Amino acid sequence: MKEYNYEELEIDLKGDEQIFHMWEPLKFEIKDNYKYINDNKIFNILSDLLCIIATPILWILNRVLFGFEVEGTDNLRKVAGGKVTISNHIHPMDCTMNGLINFPERVYFPTLASNFQIPFIRHLIKLLYAIPIPKQPKHMKQFLDNITKALKDGKTIHMYPEGSLWPYYEKIRPFKKGAFKIAVEANCPIVPIIYQFVEPEGIFALYKRKKCIHAKILRPVYPNEDLEKTERIEDLEKRVEQLYREII
C-alpha cells in the first residue's frame, strides 16, 4: 500500500486562505511528544463537565441567534463505531453546531494551530476537544496515528474538507483530501453534514436580517474496500462530494 506524503496531508488539512481572521498574539508550538488525543482523566472530566454546562446554553444561543435546526439525526445513529463527520465551513459558530449535533458523544476537532494563539480561546477550544494540525511534516505522522487510533476506538472526528471558513457562503467549494485519507486509513465512514441558509419565518422573521442556518445530516458513506488505497480515497471523496452537490 502507498504510504502518505505527510507534507501533502498537512496541506490538505490546512486548506486555503482564511477569509475570517482573529487576533493571534500568543505563541504556540507543537512539541515532539504532543498528545493530540488527551488521555488525562482529570482533563477529560473537566472537558465533559464543560460540555454538559455549555450544551443547553449553546442550543439556546444558536436557536435564537441563527434559527438553528437539525434534520437527519437518524443517520448518525446508523454508525455504531468511529466516524468522520464533515461539513461546509460557513460560520464561526458552526463548530458548536457540530458539537451539538453529535452530543452527548465527544467530538474531536482538528483545527489550525494558529487558533491556539488566541487569548482565552486557546484554553476553551482545548477543553472542547480541539486538536492543532501540525505545521511540520515530522509531526504529521504522530497526528495521523493518534487520530486513526481514536477512530478505531470508536471516537468521532469532525473535519472541514473545504478547509477555510467562508462566512455565509452558499455554494460548495472544492474538497481537500485530508478527511477522506483519514477515513480510509481508519476504515470508517464519512457522515456528511450540510449547512443551508433558509429565509427566516415566523418569529425569526421579526428580528433576523440574515438567513437562518439549518443542518442536514446525510447517510453514512463507507470506503470501498475493493479498491486500492489511493483509488479508495478518491472514490470516497467523489461519492461524498456528489451527495453535497445534489442538495446544494
- With beta carbons less than 8 A apart as the criterion, state whether 58 and 100 touch: yes
Domains in the chain, please, with CATH? Answer: 38-247 (3.40.1130.10)
CA distance 54 to 128: 10
| Number of helices (H), then strands (E), in the chain | 8, 7
pTM of the model as a whole = 0.85
Mean pLDDT score of the chain, rounded to an integer? 87
Residue with cell 474538497: 175
Neighbours of 156 (CB within 10 A): 23
Q: What is the pLDDT of residues 21-64, one digit of tens each?
A: 555 666 777 888 888 888 889 989 999 999 999 999 999 999 99
CA distance 213 to 93: 10
The residues, any chain, with a CB within 8 Å of residue 90's CB and separated by 6 or more, are 165, 166, 167, 168, 169, 170, 195, 197, 213
- With beta carbons less than 8 A apart as the criterion, state whether 194 and 71 touch: no
CA distance 227 to 34: 34
Comparing CA positions, the residue from 155, 213, 167, 161 lying closest to residue 21 is: 167
CA distance 113 to 29: 8
Q: What is the pLDDT of residues 149-181, one digit of tens each?
A: 999 999 999 999 998 889 999 998 999 999 999
CA distance 170 to 47: 33
Helix (H, G, I), strand (E, B) or coil at 130: strand
pLDDT at 1: 42
pLDDT at 53: 93
Residue with cell 452558499: 170
Find the range with the poorest average confidence among 120-129, 165-174, 175-184, 230-239: 120-129
Comparing CA positions, the residue from 195, 191, 138 lying closest to residue 169 is: 195
Question: Given pLDDT bands bounded at 50, 70 and 90, which one contains residue 14?
Answer: low
